[in-house]
Structure 1
Amino acid sequence: MADTNMPDFEPVIEYLGLKGRYQGVQAVLQVLGIYCLSFAVLIGVFTGYEPAHECNAVNVTEMRDLFSVPDNASLEASYGKCAVTLVVNDSAAVTTHTMSCVNGHNYFGNKYISFTSEMDLVCDRTGLGDLSQTLLMLGQGIGGFIFTSLADRFGRKPIYVFTSFGMTILHILIGVAPEIGSLTLFRFLIGGFQQGVCLSSLTLFLEMMSPRHRMLGSVVCGTLWSTSVLTLGLLAWLLRYHSWRTLQLIMTATTSYCVLLPWLLMESPRWLACNNRADEALEIFRKWCEQNGKDFAHVKSLFDKNVVEKLRVKKMLEEREGEEKPELHVEKYTILDLFKHKQIALTSFVLAFVWVTNGVTYFGLILTSSSLAGDRFVNFLLSGLAEWPSHSVAYFMLRRMKRRLIETIFLVLSGVCLITSVLLLLSPEQEASTASIVFSLLGKFSITGAFNALYLLTPELFPTNLRSIGLGWSSALSRFGGMVAPYSRFLAEKAVYGPGTIFGCMCLISALLIRLLPETRGRPLPNSIQEMKAWRSEKPGIRKKETCIDHAFIVPPESKRDVEDTETHNYRYSLVET
């Protein structure tokens, strides 16, 4: 049963509404954090780009002495990407000698176009640049764990302000890094700070909304991400003849809004009230009413009745729980419980593979966009443009179709498009090359839609006390996919069709595995492992008219429409882990 003593902010938020000057200012400050997220993660596509290169010329006279070439023999040198080949031709025989690029590499006048070329991270050092991208993804995982806890303890605003300033400083430090060691360290740190900005800004954004608007908020967040991808591609194209450090330092401007946050950004009233700071929360609501022309007396009445009083009763019951309610027992779970029960273990392993597939495919397609036929800047821009409408399409599908079906459709479409793109790459025709790019972009569109559906499906599959753990496990594995994705570039260099084949097959396998999971649309969220097990024995299509619970509020579904609307309540889990 639901705990009727849980604080209910929804009457207050519903009365204040979605539109108004206060929400406008706060939303802009919050979504600026969301908008800057892709720059830190994806800028390596351009700053770490490996341009065409060959070995610098060697002194042929010195080579004669080094290899004891007779005076009557000719000596010619040919220069490859990673080796110099010397051909000795005398009257007796033709011999060859191979050596490394002893005089460095020639980047055809573009040495400072990326840190890869400036720091000579090619040939035997070629993995160091991609290692910095992998460690950035690792930093995201660690930062997400650390800053989530800090935001719950110290508040959303302090963490948002701190990590935004941190990202600004790290953009500068990366732009002036003298060598690969310090650059890798700074990129690792910016990955962690990026997650701090992500989690705190998204949480602030969601906690300002009523439940029925949160799925719409997810579309806004996804569209902002895709818009920032397009912005990054455009900036990189405009600065294509400049040093990579110029583009990196310009990224400082994308987070410079942080100077406004300490003065203009407000803390989440929800967090304040739940942390014994109800007076501060009420003061924020007072400013909210003043700026929007709302009745503060009415808001205070709703706040006192639905929040303050329930918090007081809840605290009193918690203090007396040991004496008066010995029969109450709340089961505590750990990540090990994901694998103790057959059905939950199956769900966990299936989701693990699907999340890895989504992560490696999404980031792999972005990071290998420069290996596609045509201009690398155009390919990146088209890649960002392809995912832009995907968020809206996924939104409308999620409101009308089954979760599992939507995920299957997007995964199958992505797999088929990527494999078709690979087959077209094998054709020598120019038209086939263009068509290959089109199908690759359709694959990007589809995997973005799959991510949208997966973020909603995952938390709906786990019982209440395992929900955050289950989503955290799944999200962490998507980071693993992102860590592996940078190395797909090496495969693309050896076999241009390699990444697309792997991504496409993984998508098709995931589409088959997702059918092993139960459908969640129209069902109340499971509150226990027993309820989750019972799903298998229920007939498909039956909807239980029970009270749907989302931790902090209760909405009794009196109609089919209400049941569908309550599904949006749980969507906040997806956004907090993006």
Structure 2
Amino acid sequence: MDFDKILTHLGDFGRYQKFLYFLVCLPAVFTGIFAVISAIILATPDHRCKIPGYENDTYSIQSDRHREVISNYIPPPAANSHLYDQCHTYSFNHSSVMFDTLGRPINGSTVKCDEWVYSYSVFKQTFTSKFNLVCSNSYKTSLAKSSYFVGIFVGAMVFGNLSDAIGRKTVFCISVAIQFVATVTLAWAPNTIVMYIYLYDPDRALVGRNVYCCIRLELVGPSKRIYTGIVVDYFFAVGLVLLSGVAYLVRHWKYIDLMCALPIGLFLFYWWILPESPRWLISKKRYKEAKAILLRAAKYNNVVVSEYLFSQDIPVQLPQKDEKYGRLWHLFTTKVLLTRTLVIFFNWGVVNMVYYGLSLNSGNLEGNYYLNFLLSGLVEFPAYTLTLLLLDRLGRKWLYIICMILGGVSCISTIFTILYLEERYQPVTIALAMLGKLGAAGAFGIIYTYSAELFPTVVRNAGMGASSCISRIGAIAAPYIADSGNYIGGSTGKAFPLAVFGSLSILAGLLSLHLPETMGQELPETIEDGIQFGTPTYKSKADANTKTYMNSTYVSTDACPLETDSQSLSE
């Protein structure tokens, strides 16, 4: 009997698994928070150069005299998106200067400034305003935002392998301790270099998607894996909603960080609550511990388990690694597999880029900063709900394509609302941007299932691991695209990021037309199956008793490979 059949006997998703599933989903709330917290703590408030010689200068106008002095020293903006030029002051000779009717020097030149004053209408303080990461230093905010995703990229590889070596629970708790220290200490970061390091912290990969993907895969039975893989995204969205509320109430980057970081310490108690993965224990020949966990699951699920289930005559089979096991390069050996693999990789990069990019870009939209951020999180709930309802009705392929093209068209449509409609119509822009986020979130939930089903079993781990790496590259690029509008300026700058995200989404959706549908199909096992998959030849040779597609073979994108073992749990 294989391990999945034991889980089915115990209950694919009984009370015990539901309890553990809830526990391992809770970290996803903080994954959601820290994935986009940089949009809050690194936000750039309205600002202008500080007037030379006026120590009590503020962004808000104090009096008519203050207004006059500002006109004397601060040039008008190059575009209408700001009240003032944000990076220059007038330089003039006081003895010979002449002013126009607006109080601006006629014969003065402009120079770059090195001190600024900031508006407090949205934030009391951000890391950007504290360390003056504006004008020539504005690129540092994009660099800091992308450092988070670089950390995820590294962490997924390093800690994924480490969890295979010393255990899921052990690495998780070590990761929690390190991340707790890093995120709390971030509040006292003395400079941007330290900020990069703390945001880079690769342990987030373990506290986030890696752990709950592995444990969900290894404790939830075959029939429920697809749906539990999507439901966990609701917790991610909860994190976005909570962050918007905390940011609105607190409005100071240091205290926002602390309020979001301190609860992470509670996950250290998982050491006494969360069991080790029985699959991992079996792979390490720790059969008695694995058996104890499975018997505990049976007890909580009110399932009577016979010792015969664990007898010597019924060995527990884990996925086999034999000499025919595929390698990643096998996906590039034929035109069919090469095309399919490149399309999958491109879609992974685009989905992550657009999803995170639209989240980070919500603060650049017109209207209330916090409301836009809140809406960006709320739209994910209907996205995941529709995915759950339609995934087995419309199929993976067409539901994914609809999400990508719908989201892409919505984003591109904002070009016209931003450039050609009056400001009072900007709620239409916000609605279109949120529709784009809904499409990206839906595609984000689907691509995990769809791409895992497309890769042949012999290279599924390798294919999903490579896809995950490509997705991180897309996420790393997202902050630069989202912030590009600040460099371009004006209405064109506001429309540019959305146009890029929309164009790439449509392109990715159209390329997906080359992918076969997987719903209701026997999944490819070998490289030869992968080549023929989706053709009449493959369908004609498929067995009548098709396997439970996907569910029995689904793997985490962060890869949770297990060693082969076929010994009994009765030891």
Same fold (TM over 0.5): yes
Q: What TM-score range do you get, normalising by the shorter chain?
A: 0.7 to 0.9
Extract unaligned runs of 5+ from structure 1: 1-5, 61-74, 319-327, 548-555, 558-562
**Counterpart residue number, 1:553:** none
Q: CA contact under 8 A between 2:27 and 2:207: conserved in structure 1?
A: no
Matches within 5 A, 1:46-85: 46-59=40-53, 76-78=72-74, 80-85=85-90
1:177-235 deviation line (CA, Å, top 9, x unaligned): 1111111111111x443345421233113322111111221232011111111111111
**Counterpart residue number, 1:10:** 5
Q: 1:468 to 1:157 in 2, by over 3 A?
A: same
- Supply the distance in 2 between the matched residues of 1:291 and 1:336 (Cα, whole angstroms): 45
Extract unaligned runs of 5+ from structure 2: 55-70, 76-84, 100-104, 561-571
Once the 2 structures are TM-superposed, how far is the Cα of residue 13 of structure 1 from its aligned partner? 4.1
- Supply the distance in 2 between the matched residues of 1:284 and 1:152 (Cα, whole angstroms): 18
Q: CA contact under 8 A between 1:456 and 1:570: conserved in structure 2?
A: no
**Counterpart residue number, 1:302:** 309
Q: CA contact under 8 A between 1:8 and 1:306: conserved in structure 2?
A: no
User: Aligned with 2:386: secondary structure?
Assistant: helix
**Counterpart residue number, 1:249:** 258
Once the 2 structures are TM-superposed, how far is the Cα of residue 237 of structure 1 from its aligned partner? 0.9
Q: CA contact under 8 A between 1:164 and 1:197: conserved in structure 2?
A: no
Once the 2 structures are TM-superposed, how far is the Cα of residue 406 of structure 1 from its aligned partner? 1.5
Once the 2 structures are TM-superposed, how far is the Cα of residue 332 of structure 1 from its aligned partner? 4.2
Q: 1:304 to 1:91 in 2, by over 3 A?
A: closer
**Counterpart residue number, 1:23:** 17
Q: Could you state the TM-score of these two structures normalised by the residue count of structure 2?
A: 0.85
- Supply the distance in 1 between the matched residues of 2:354 and 2:44 (Cα, whole angstroms): 21
- Supply the distance in 1 between the matched residues of 2:191 and 2:205 (Cα, whole angstroms): 22
Once the 2 structures are TM-superposed, how far is the Cα of residue 267 of structure 1 from its aligned partner? 0.8
- Supply the distance in 2 between the matched residues of 1:276 and 1:99 (Cα, whole angstroms): 71
User: Aligned with 1:377: secondary structure?
Assistant: helix
Once the 2 structures are TM-superposed, how far is the Cα of residue 403 of structure 1 from its aligned partner? 2.0
Q: Which of the numbers 394, 398, 422 marks the counterpart of 2:391?
A: 398
**Counterpart residue number, 1:210:** 221
Amino acid at match of 1:50: T
Q: CA contact under 8 A between 2:517 and 2:534: conserved in structure 1?
A: no
Q: 1:14 to 1:236 in 2, by over 3 A?
A: farther
**Counterpart residue number, 2:171:** 159
- Work out whether 1:546 is the aligned partner of 2:543: yes
Matches within 5 A, 1:16-415: 16=11, 18-20=13-15, 22-59=16-53, 76-78=72-74, 80-87=85-92, 94-102=106-114, 104-109=115-120, 113-189=125-201, 191-240=202-251, 243-296=252-305, 298=306, 300-304=307-311, 308=315, 329-333=323-327, 335-415=328-408
Once the 2 structures are TM-superposed, how far is the Cα of residue 387 of structure 1 from its aligned partner? 1.2
1:492-545 deviation line (CA, Å, top 9, x unaligned): 2221110111111111111221112222222222122222222365269x4654
1:282-331 deviation line (CA, Å, top 9, x unaligned): 122233344444435x2x321336864657xx99xx9xxxxxxxxx8425
- Supply the distance in 1 between the matched residues of 2:47 and 2:195 (Cα, whole angstroms): 22
Q: 1:100 to 1:394 in 2, by over 3 A?
A: same
Supply the RMSD in Å over aligned alpha carbons: 2.8
Once the 2 structures are TM-superposed, how far is the Cα of residue 248 of structure 1 from its aligned partner? 0.5
- Supply the distance in 2 between the matched residues of 1:457 and 1:511 (Cα, whole angstroms): 13
Q: CA contact under 8 A between 1:229 and 1:384: conserved in structure 2?
A: yes
> Identity of paired residues, percent?
25
Q: CA contact under 8 A between 2:362 and 2:369: conserved in structure 1?
A: yes
**Counterpart residue number, 2:507:** 509
Q: CA contact under 8 A between 2:216 and 2:225: conserved in structure 1?
A: no
Amino acid at match of 1:97: S
Amino acid at match of 1:286: L
Q: 1:15 to 1:244 in 2, by over 3 A?
A: same
Q: 1:292 to 1:392 in 2, by over 3 A?
A: same
Q: Could you state the TM-score of these two structures normalised by the residue count of structure 1?
A: 0.84
Q: 1:573 to 1:310 in 2, by over 3 A?
A: closer
**Counterpart residue number, 1:417:** 410
Aligned residue pair count: 522
Q: 1:245 to 1:337 in 2, by over 3 A?
A: same
Q: Structure with the greater relative contact order (CA < 8 A, sep ≥ 6): 1 or 2? A: 2
User: Aligned with 1:160: secondary structure?
Assistant: helix
Q: Which of the numbers 413, 435, 450 marks the counterpart of 2:428?
A: 435
Question: Which 10-residue stretch deviates more, 108-117 or 256-265?
Answer: 108-117
Once the 2 structures are TM-superposed, how far is the Cα of residue 568 of structure 1 from its aligned partner? 3.3
- Supply the distance in 2 between the matched residues of 1:379 and 1:109 (Cα, whole angstroms): 18
Once the 2 structures are TM-superposed, how far is the Cα of residue 37 of structure 1 from its aligned partner? 1.0
Matches within 5 A, 1:462-473: 462-473=455-466
